[in-house]
Amino acid sequence: MEKVPDLHKTEELSAIAVDYCPEVCQHFPEQREISVTFDERGGARWRSTRRFSSGTFSAKIKTPSGNTSGLNSSFYLSTLEGPRDQDEIDFEFLGKDKGTVQTNFYTHGTGGREVIHDLGFDSSQEFHEYTIKWEPDRIEWLVDGKSIRVAEKKKKKVNEGLWAGPYIGCDVPYVCVYKDVFVPCH
Give me the pLDDT at residue 163, please: 52
Query: What is residue 32's three-state secondary structure?
Result: coil
- At 154, the pLDDT band (50, 70, 90 cuts) reads low
| 161 is a domain residue | yes
88 touches 132 (CB < 8 A): no
Task: Let me know if 16 is exposed, middle or buried by CB neighbors in 10 A (0-12, 13-18, 19+).
Answer: middle
79 in any annotated domain: yes
- Residue 140 located in a structural domain: yes
Domain annotation covers residue 27: yes
pTM (predicted TM-score): 0.78
Collapsing DSSP to helix, strand or coil, 30 comes out as helix
Confidence grade of residue 174 (pLDDT, cut at 50, 70, 90): confident
Owning domain of residue 24: 10-184
**30: annotated active-site residue:** no
Active-site residue among 33, 88, 129, 135? Answer: 88
The contacts of residue 66 (CB under 8 Å, 6+ apart) are 124, 170, 171, 174
Catalytic residue chosen out of the listed positions 23, 30, 92, 135: 92
* Domain CATH for 111: 2.60.120.200
Total domains in the chain come to: 1
DSSP code at position 24: G
2 domain-assigned: no
Residue 150 located in a structural domain = yes
Burial track 48-64 (b if 16+ CB lie within 10 A, e otherwise): beeeeebbbbbbbbbbb
Check residue 139 and give its pLDDT. 92
158 to 9, 68, 152, 182, 186: CA distances (angstroms) = 30, 26, 13, 28, 33
pLDDT per position as a tens digit, 119-150: 999 999 999 999 999 988 899 999 999 999 99
Asked whether the predicted pLDDT for residue 162 surpasses 60, the reply is no
Residue 58 lies in a domain: yes
% of the chain residues with pLDDT over 90 = 40
Concerning whether 88 is annotated as a catalytic residue, the answer is yes
